[in-house]
Amino acid sequence: SGYKLAGIEVSAVVDPLKAARDQFSSEYGIAADYESVEELFSAEKPDIVSVCTWHLLHPGPTIAAAEAGVSGVICEKPMAVGLDLADQMIETCERHGTKLVISHQRRFTPGWEKARELVVNGAIGKIEHVDSKVMQGLLNCGTHAIDGVRFVLGDPATEWVMGAVERKSERFERDTPIEDGSMGLIQLEDGIQINFQSDLDPQKASPGHFIFRGDRGFIETTETWTRLWNEKTNGWEDQGLGIEKEKIDVIGGMSNARQAKELVNWIEGGPEHRCSGRYARATVEIMMAILESARRNQVIRLPLMEKDYPLELMIEEGLLPPEEEGAYDIRGYLNREGIDEVRYAQLRAEGLGHHPIMRKLYEERKTKNEKIDNG
């Protein structure tokens, strides 16, 4: 729905699964469908390509789009799993004149924009400390949180990172090995520190919830609300956002639409996109530095020298031997191969979104298998 805009026509869908292609083509009135990006680019040249694949498959289509002369790419987050791949994406896009955007679309939410405005206007003085907690993995939700804090602060440079990691199980997320828990102390320029943690404490854990402490007050924000405490407010004061909370799309139509419109403006000569690959690379570097710090047991001063995925290196080096056998994927239910497509279509017709449908199908299949196992 983020592309249903004046001046933008969705002309083709690419997916190796025919059922997925058929669904999108029918649901959104898309004229053409292809099994691969190679097939797409041999047949036509779109102006913009949206890369919606899982993490490890972000670089390939992005690079292929740039080499095909596409004007702009919107690629899902996290940008890449490792700095080398992120740099390849940026270098190829720059070489071919392709504008690269990474879908940290929460940068367009009113709560974060209000918090950024308050910071810029000095509402709480000099920023000293930021707290952020998430669940569901560093790459999955941590990327939104770290990127969001950076956005509110004006995308400052990072000086160093100290991190810790726990991985007792064989945990994956979208086919990528991830940690059971992690935390990082991130030192930004001007002495600002971010205290970040993932999968350690669920209380108020959200990729959009931050608390900023300055020398003259506090800001607490999410994507949908912001409140301020300083010498003028007499306690916490809610900040008006100019839109009802219920009408804010955190990762849906409104934020995605604004993200797409800003890309069109950038392509047509406007300023750099707030979600450009350059900003997203800085977020990837911080995440990789957290992991590399745990790997080396030391502070990591940026720029980060390690270009591969430090967690995978730790696993290969035997630094994180599993105590619980059996690999599992916290987003495995999103794998569409082999699902009951008739049931999918039925649930879609009832108004359910893709993620709820896939979770429901996963639970139904699991229940069915358990009944079979039990005789």
Rg (CA), the chain: 21
Asked if residue 208 lies in contact with residue 112, where contact means CB atoms within 8 angstroms, the answer is yes
| Structural domain that includes position 47 | 12-106+253-279
DSSP 77: S
Q: What is the pLDDT of residues 336-364, one digit of tens each?
A: 988 999 999 999 999 999 999 999 999 99
User: How many domains, the chain?
Assistant: 3
Q: Is residue 328 part of a domain?
A: no
* pLDDT greater at residue 115 or residue 31: 115
Same-domain pairing of 114 and 99: no
| pLDDT tier for residue 318 given thresholds of 50, 70 and 90 | very high
Do 306 and 224 have their domain in common? Answer: yes
In a shared domain, residues 176 and 292: yes
pLDDT in tens, 103-157: 999 999 999 999 999 999 999 999 999 999 999 999 999 999 999 999 999 999 9
Please state, rounded to an integer, the average pLDDT across all residues of the chain. 95
Q: Which two tokens stand for residue 45?
A: 């040249």
- Domain membership of residue 327 (yes or no) is no
- Say whether pLDDT at 71 is over 80: yes
In a domain, 18, yes or no: yes
Q: Does residue 144 form part of some domain?
A: yes
Strands 176-177 and 158-166: unpaired
pLDDT at 249: 79
Q: What is the CATH number of the domain that holds 227?
A: 3.30.360.10
Residue 185 lies in a domain: yes
pLDDT tens digits for 233-266? 999 999 999 888 877 877 777 899 999 999 999 9
What average pLDDT does the segment 196-208 reach?
97
Sign of the alpha-carbon dihedral angle for 136, 138, 140, 146: positive
Q: What distance in Å separates the CA atoms of residue 66 and residue 92, rounded to the nearest whole number? A: 7
Note whether 173 and 311 are same-domain residues: yes
